[in-house]
Each structure stands twice: as structure tokens, then as C-alpha cells.
Amino acid sequence: MIGMRVLVVGQGGREHAIVEALHRAEDSPQIFVAPGNPGMEPLAERIPVAPDDVESIVGWSKKNEIDFVVVGPEVALAAGLADALRAVGIATLGPGAAAARLESSKRYTKDLLTRLGLPTAPYRVATSADEADALLATVTYPIVLKADGLAAGKGVVIAENADEARATVDAWMRDGALGPAGETIVIEDFIRGEEASVLVLTDGQRWMLFPPARDHKRIGEGDTGPNTGGMGACAPARLPSEADAIAFGKRIVDPILRTLREENTPYRGILYLGLMLTSEGPQVLEFNARFGDPEAQVVLPLLEEDALPLLWNAALGRLPADRHATFLKYRGAAVCVVLASRGYPARPATGDDIEGLEGPWQHGIHLFHAGIDKHMGRWVTSGGRVLGVTARGVNLEEAREAAYAATSRIYFAGMQYRRDIALTSEQVGRTDP
């Protein structure tokens, strides 16, 4: 594998974390990223192609003799990028479009989970606004509304009452705010518990787990305000335990992978299990067809083994048999604090100068660039989630302290971040970072 040419597709903090993990590989691969961002330039050569421009990525990869592609974002998977790359003989980590429906169609996933008798909240499906209104008259609030299709993190609303639910139906189904993604919706019972993200590396049959992670999705401390793409993460999460995570894999991942193999749409890539841990056991909230973001920014820095051969072998359908249903080797804990621009998530501002990115940084600090650009030598904001500040430590407390200490050195106008990343709900309000 010496001299391997690897292309990472995507441009955010997740892809920066993937690039960094590959850069640590023993065999020193040559790394390219399409399109990447300026923060990745020390580690990877940037290719100016959009992640869902399938034809250009395949053409460029062939011409440039790429050996291996790791696909970051769901839009590229849903567009069939992994299918197209495999069709020309390029090993690719990421499911084909049919298997990626686990993320790109909430309805497909709920139907599949139900068919397999796997634990998930009761739901109904509406394919018109009138049908949704009629269903919403019969439910108990709060209720969860999910757009069927991909909606860039904007497709889930927890409606506290009928007015909020109807406003969402109006926006998605009558006004077309999400385009075709919102033409069908899933209306799901709200379940309480502790959320966990379990990221699974699979070759379609065998699988291995990254340390369980926890994402903080709402913009405000104490899990208040609108949903975002994720305002921070930690790993290993306090729950589930390693033994429970392996048990969930056997209960949930095995039947899903088996079904996809039987349907001739094997799943090779990262399968993200979004779980709600309840007193009655885990419930599947969602699947994603890729690394979570910001979860990737905590699980990848924790790895104590070379990620490249494992990702490569998963892509080729040959994860080692003796590693099936085990964890990738990791050590310690990591906390990622996401710095978001003013106005995020509704109307993120861009173009604000960012100060304090220069090091030196203490060992174990990683700055994963997302919505950042460079203009005339100055770093400026260019998106909603600007930067993930990750710190590693021997435990969550130490990692958390280091992540907030690093965060305090960075500034841009209107910078928003949550002060309660990695705290349990019981701890929120009692600790002042």
C-alpha cells in the first residue's frame, strides 16, 4: 500500500478529520481532497470539484490513478458516486445509492426497521399536506416531523404543539422550503432517553465499532433552540457501554446488513446508528450512510491503530474475520466544541475575520476547519459551522477542559458555541466552563 493515492470527498470538519487520520497512516498515502478547504492544504492536495459532481470526480480519479476513495457527505452517496467509482474499478468506502437510502429516505428506513422487527418509534407517513394535517390532529405532542429526503440537517423538527407542527407542514409541504425532500414526511412519536451515535465500519457483512459518541444537536445549552448539524461531540460517550454497543450491533446491524446483501445492495462504508437509549432498551432514531459530523472529529483522533488498512479492507469486502464485532483500538477521550457563525442555523453570516488560529497548540488539540476560507492571508468565516475544536485527554473531563481552553483563544464577531458539550443533562446548570 506504499504510495497509495487516496481521494477524500467533501469539504467540512468531518473530511478534515478523515484527511488527518489518513495522514497518520504508516504507509504515507498521497492524499487529495475534493474540494476540501484551505485548512486542509498542509495535508492534502485540493481538487476543485463538488462532492456530488459524479462525472467529474470519476473522470478525475481515473485520470489521476486514484487507488482509493473515501466519501464524506451523504449528497455524494445519494447521487451514486460510490456506484460510479466502483463501476470503473476504484475501491470506494461508502455505500451505493440504493443502500444509502438508509439515510436518503426516512420512510424507507422506518419501513425496513418495522419489517425486520427492530426497535424504532411508532410513525405514520404523509404524502400530502392535507394528509399530514389530518394525522397531526390525532397525535400527542411533542411529535417529531422528518422530511423523507436529504435536507442538509434541516429536515427534523420536534414540534411541541399543533401550531408548530402545522407551521412545519406548511413550510415543507405547501411552500416547498426543502424542495422534493419535504414532499413526503414521517411523523414519529417523540421518545425520551439519552441519544448516542454508534459509528460502524462495515464491509457489508463484518463490522467494527468506533467508540460510541454523543452529538449535541440543538443550538442552545441544555438542548434548547433549533436543531443544527451538531454543535459539539464527545467520545467515548458515557452511554452505551462497550458491551451494550456490541450487543446493539448484533441486534441491529447484522439484520440490516443481511437484508441489504439479500437485496443485492451490499453496504460497504460507515453506517451511523443514531440511537435513543431508553429504559426499555435502544430505539433507532435514524441511520446515516457516512461518518457523523462532528462525531468524526472525536472518534478519529482517538484511534490507536492505522485507519487506512481497515478502511481499505472494508471497501474491498474483507475486514479481518477476527476483528468482526469488536472495537477499533482507541485510547482516552475526546471532546469537540463547534464554533458557529452569528445567525447560525437560520441565516449564518460569512466574511468575519477569525483570530487566534495560529499555534502553537498543546499536544492533543486538533482544529478541524469547516466553514472557513482564506482571503489575502486572513482567515474568514464562510459557513455556519466554522471550526471544530477537538481536544484529547485521558478522560472526558480532561478533554473537555482542554477543548474549552483552546476555544477561549479563538475569536470572531458573533461566534456562538455551547458551554455544555460533554456534560450530562444533570450536570448542565451546575458547571460553568
Q: Which residues bind ligand GLY (CB under 6 A)?
A: 215, 230, 288, 292-293, 295
* Closest approach of ligand GLY to the CB of residue 285, in Å: 10
Rg of the chain over Cα atoms, rounded to whole angstroms, equals 21
The number of CA neighbours under 13 Å toward the Cβ of 6 is 30
Cα gap 147→129, rounded to integer Å: 12
Cα gap 371→385, rounded to integer Å: 6
Nearest residue to the partner ligand GLY, using Cβ: 292
Report residue 431 as a C-alpha cell.
458547571
Closer residue to ligand GLY in complex, CB, 11/288 = 288
Closer residue to ligand GLY in complex, CB, 197/205 = 197
Per-residue 3-state assignment (H helix, E strand, C coil) for 311-328: HHHHHCCCCCHHHCCEEC
Q: In what order do the strands lie in the sheet with 269-278?
A: 281-288, 269-278, 194-202, 207-209, 326-327
Cα separations (Å) of 189 from 101, 107, 137, 283?
A: 22, 14, 14, 12
* Closest approach of ligand GLY to the CB of residue 146, in Å: 13
* Closest approach of ligand GLY to the CB of residue 58, in Å: 25
Closer residue to ligand GLY in complex, CB, 364/388 = 388
Paired sense of beta strands 30-35 and 5-10, if any: parallel
Cα gap 356→389, rounded to integer Å: 12
Report residue 398 as a C-alpha cell.
480532561
Please count the other Cβ atoms lying within 10 Å of the Cβ belonging to residue 245: 23
* Closest approach of ligand GLY to the CB of residue 293, in Å: 4
* Closest approach of ligand GLY to the CB of residue 228, in Å: 9
**Full DSSP string of 263-280:** TT----EEEEEEEEEETT
Closer residue to ligand GLY in complex, CB, 18/126 = 18
- Alpha helix ranges (H) inside 24-126: 54-63, 74-78, 81-87, 101-104, 106-115
Closer residue to ligand GLY in complex, CB, 185/231 = 231
Closer residue to ligand GLY in complex, CB, 73/364 = 73
Closer residue to ligand GLY in complex, CB, 103/352 = 103
Cα dihedral 35→38→44→48 (10° resolution): 30
Closer residue to ligand GLY in complex, CB, 293/420 = 293
- Whether the upstream peptide bond of residue 301 has omega within 30° of 0, thus cis, is no
* Closest approach of ligand GLY to the CB of residue 286, in Å: 8
* Closest approach of ligand GLY to the CB of residue 215, in Å: 4
Closer residue to ligand GLY in complex, CB, 295/420 = 295
* Closest approach of ligand GLY to the CB of residue 272, in Å: 7
* Closest approach of ligand GLY to the CB of residue 242, in Å: 21
